Amino acid sequence: MKEIMPESRKDSIHSLAEQAQIFCLHEDASLPPSHQAVLDLANKSKRLLAENELIVLCKKSGCDPQKLVELEKQLPNLIDKAKEDLLKKKPAITAPGGSLYPNDRAEACWRDCFHFARISIYGTAAGNVNITDKKGLEALRELYLLLEVPLEALIICLEQLQNRCGELLSQLGANKDEKLLRGCFQHLNEKITSFQSKNTNEDQEST
C-alpha cells in the first residue's frame, strides 16, 4: 500500500521547491537589460533558449549560437547517454532497494539533470560560469535532504553529462563554448558536492 505523505511534509516540500530557484544571471547587472530579460523569460518557463535568444546573448559572450543550437537539439540524447553511463557504474541503483527506485525517483534525477544542463547553456551563452544563487542553493540542499535525493548518483550523472556535452562542442570546433559550458557544469557539481559535507556536519551536530 502506498504511504500517505503527511500534510506538513507536503507543505515543506512545496515551500522549499518555490525557494529553490538557483539560477541568478537574469539579475546580473553586468549584463545588458535585454540579455537579463531573455534569461529571465527562458528560466521562468524552464525551457531551453530559442535560436534568436542565443543569437542575442552570444553577441556579448562571443560564443557561437549555431553550435549551442546544435547542443540543445542533441541534449535529450546526451542525457540518455549520461543515464547509461551512470547505470554502467551503478547497475543496481534503479533496482528495488536502490536509491533511484522506484521509477519516479529515477525520473526526477534525469529531470534535474536536464534543468542543470539548461542553466549551464544559459551561462555559456551569457559568458558567465557563476550561475547560481546562494539562497536558492541552500533551499535546494534542504529540499534534496527532505526528499532523500541520492547526491552521489546525481553528481555522477552530472559529470557524465558535462563530458558528453563538452565532447559534442569540441567535435563542433566550439572551443570557447566548450570551456564555458564545462565551467558551468563544474560550478554546479562543486555546489552539489558541497551539500554532502554540509549534511554530514549537520548530522554530527545533531548527535
pLDDT tens, per residue, the chain with 207 residues: 445 667 888 899 999 999 999 999 999 999 999 999 999 999 999 999 999 999 999 999 999 999 999 999 999 999 999 999 999 999 999 999 999 999 999 999 999 999 999 999 999 999 999 999 999 999 999 999 999 999 999 999 999 999 999 999 999 999 999 999 999 999 999 999 999 988 877 766 665
Query: Which residue segments constitute the domains of the chain, with CATH numbers given?
Result: 32-201 (1.10.490.20)
As a whole number of angstroms, the distance between CA 19 and CA 162 comes to 26
Beta bridge partners of 132: 23
- Crossing angle (nearest 10°) for helices 51-61 and 103-126: 50
Q: Where are the alpha helices (DSSP H) in 31-126?
A: 33-45, 51-61, 65-89, 103-126
